[in-house]
């Protein structure tokens, strides 16, 4: 059965070059999971066409795989994307009520764009396909499609945390969001905790009565599944064996000239806990002065949603903290924190993962976090240590092998860094083997198979 994938983000950026379309594959877990399937088996990917009318709205990636772009106006982008999706649903779902903005125009734009996406599906729908709708941007699409009479199974995956009832109740459109999601036949989340939150919300807000992980609504049966997304392990294993990747890792490690290196890779978002992370590093250098001059930490902070004031504010604060740590502890020839506000490709990230003694992944809340899995898959040895926030969804899977910390506890973060650096080789290897077994077994292919299993009778 072919797939019709619906997502805000495109699998390819299309650039016009010399009168022809040039494709650049985008980076992300969803694209890694689903793009190879559509390329091999055929299907349609419906997405936001960011370049609008400058490129064709329908592009054949190969003879079986069509990418259909939904053109959005500047008002659509402002209200649907920057507005309701990222100033209302995103902070509310991550339990940042103080950053949540409620605006009727945002909701009108969100509803309008969801209709555009549903219409785009209907235009290409011919039956005999699984329809896979993705994420909080498009929560209304499943019901819109069901109302149009589409009979094939609809799968909807919510990729960020799903808030508990006491948070979702603040949203004026809470009922419409839940009813939109319940248009799907299968709804997926990363953890059972998010599943439980969703079931609580449909019970308290809609008056539905779930039976286990099943919701009965309007005469229909909806399955709710906890299926954490995996990564393309084989791809990261190929990267770590690439001579260019290995060479860069060795050269950079030599250039840094320190005994130990740590790595952090995050989007510059208030949910990722960069302020808290840097405070933990500052505390480490305070408590363990013998490591000054011996440990350098590299933080990649990828720009995101740069037009929003909240994101400008978080950049100012992180810049200030890094500057403070540099001022307190930096010495000639030694930099405690290398801070890069830019995007890096997977080849460069693989090099950074390979050469680092520890990874510090400490979001204050995160739906899952694939960086932790990428770090594990990139290790050619078994001696790297993963320090992981208990509030990252992936901590449910990686709890046995990682050092779990509360990112708000500066002393605990500092102590975890110290433990990672002093840990015996035997313990490092045991922990990394545990992590690798989980990451390898529950990779992206496992996720697809589990999430897209046929609906029970």
Mean pLDDT by 10 residues, the chain (457 residues): 89 72 71 82 88 67 91 94 96 97 98 97 92 97 96 95 98 98 98 98 95 95 97 93 96 96 95 96 98 98 80 88 95 96 93 98 96 96 95 97 98 98 97 97 94 83
- CATH for 96: 3.40.50.2000
Dist. CA 347–CA 86, nearest whole Å:
29
406 with 265, same domain: the answer is: yes
Residue 287 near residue 321, CB atoms below 8 Å: no
Domain presence at residue 221: yes
Residue 167 lies in a domain: yes
- In a shared domain, residues 51 and 175: yes
* The pLDDT value given to residue 2: 86
Looking at the structure of the chain, the number of domains it has is: 2
Answer yes or no: do 108 and 246 share one domain: no
Q: Work out the angle at residue 12's Cα, subtended by the Cα atoms of residues 6 and 16, and round it to the nearest 5 degrees.
A: 130
Per-residue pLDDT at 457 = 56
423 part of a folded domain: yes
Statement to judge: residues 204 and 246 lie in one domain: no
CA distance 131 to 141: 11
413 and 323 in a common domain: yes
Structural domain includes residue 342: yes
Same-domain status, 167 and 280: no
Same domain, 46 and 179: yes
Question: Please, are residues 201 and 174 in contact by the beta-carbon 8 Å criterion?
Answer: yes
Same domain assignment for residues 121 and 264: no
CA dist 2 and 204 (Å) reads 36
Chain-centre distance of CA 179, in angstroms? 24
Domain region containing 342: 233-441
Query: Could you tell me the CA-to-CA distances from 11 to 24, 115, 243, 327 in Å, in that order?
Result: 9, 21, 28, 42
User: What is the predicted pLDDT for the residue at 309?
Assistant: 80
Task: Report if residue 457 sits inside a domain.
Answer: no
Residue 151 maps to a domain? yes
Q: Kindly state whether residue 178 falls inside one of the protein's structural domains.
A: yes
If we measure between CA atoms, which residue out of 116, 122, 125, 139 comes closest to residue 48? 116
Q: Does some domain include residue 325?
A: yes
pLDDT of residue 209: 85
Residue 303 · residue 261 · CB < 8 Å: no
Residues 11 and 158 in one domain: yes
Residues 24 and 43 in one domain: yes
**pLDDT value, residue 56:** 61
What's the confidence (pLDDT) of residue 200?
98
Torsion sign across C-alpha atoms 442, 443, 447, 450: negative
Same domain, 107 and 172: yes
pTM of the model: 0.94
Is the same domain home to 224 and 253?
A: no
């Amino acid at each position: 059965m072919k797939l019709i994938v619906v997502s805000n983000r495109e699998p390819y950026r299309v650039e016009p070059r010399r009168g022809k379309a040039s494709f650049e594959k985008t980076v992300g877990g969803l694209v890694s999971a689903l793009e190879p399937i559509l390329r091999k088996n055929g299907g349609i990917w419906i997405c936001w066409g960011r370049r609008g009318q400058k490129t064709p709205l329908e592009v054949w990636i190969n003879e079986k795989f069509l990418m259909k772009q939904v053109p959005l106006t500047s008002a659509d982008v402002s209200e649907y994307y920057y507005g309701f999706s990222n100033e209302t649903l995103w902070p509310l779902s991550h339990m940042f009520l103080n950053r949540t903005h409620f605006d009727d125009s945002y909701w009108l734009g969100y509803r309008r764009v969801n209709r555009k996406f549903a219409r785009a599906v209907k235009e290409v729908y011919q039956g005999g396909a699984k329809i896979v709708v993705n994420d909080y941007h498009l929560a209304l699409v499943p019901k819109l499609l069901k109302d149009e009479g589409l009979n094939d199974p609809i799968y909807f995956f919510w990729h960020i945390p799903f808030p508990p009832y006491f948070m979702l109740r603040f949203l004026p459109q809470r009922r419409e969001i839940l009813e939109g999601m319940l248009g799907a036949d299968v709804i997926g989340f990363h953890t059972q905790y998010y599943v439980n939150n969703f079931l609580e919300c449909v019970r308290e807000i809609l008056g539905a009565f779930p039976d286990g992980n099943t919701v009965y609504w309007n005469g229909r049966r909806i399955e709710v599944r906890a299926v954490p997304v995996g990564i393309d392990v084989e791809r990261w294993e190929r990267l770590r064996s690439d001579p260019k990747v290995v060479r860069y890792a060795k050269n950079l490690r030599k250039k840094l000239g320190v005994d130990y290196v740590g790595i952090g890779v995050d989007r510059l978002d208030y949910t990722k806990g960069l302020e808290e992370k840097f405070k933990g590093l500052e505390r480490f250098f305070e408590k363990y002065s013998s490591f000054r001059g011996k440990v350098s930490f590299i933080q990649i902070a990828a720009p995101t949603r740069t037009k929003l004031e909240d994101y400008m504010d978080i950049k100012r604060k992180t810049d200030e903290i890094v500057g403070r740590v540099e001022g307190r502890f930096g010495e000639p020839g030694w930099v405690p924190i290398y801070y890069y506000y830019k995007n890096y490709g997977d080849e460069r990230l693989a090099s950074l993962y390979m050469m680092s003694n520890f990874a510090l992944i400490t979001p204050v809340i995160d739906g899952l976090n694939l960086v932790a899995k990428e770090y594990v898959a990139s290790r050619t040895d078994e001696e790297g240590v993963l320090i992981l926030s208990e509030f990252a969804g992936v901590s449910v899977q990686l709890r046995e092998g990682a050092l779990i910390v509360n990112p708000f506890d500066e002393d605990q973060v500092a102590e975890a860094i110290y433990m990672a650096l002093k840990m015996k080789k035997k313990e490092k290897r045991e922990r990394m083997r545990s992590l690798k077994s989980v990451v390898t077994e529950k990779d992206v292919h496992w996720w697809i198979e589990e999430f897209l299993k046929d609906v029970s009778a």
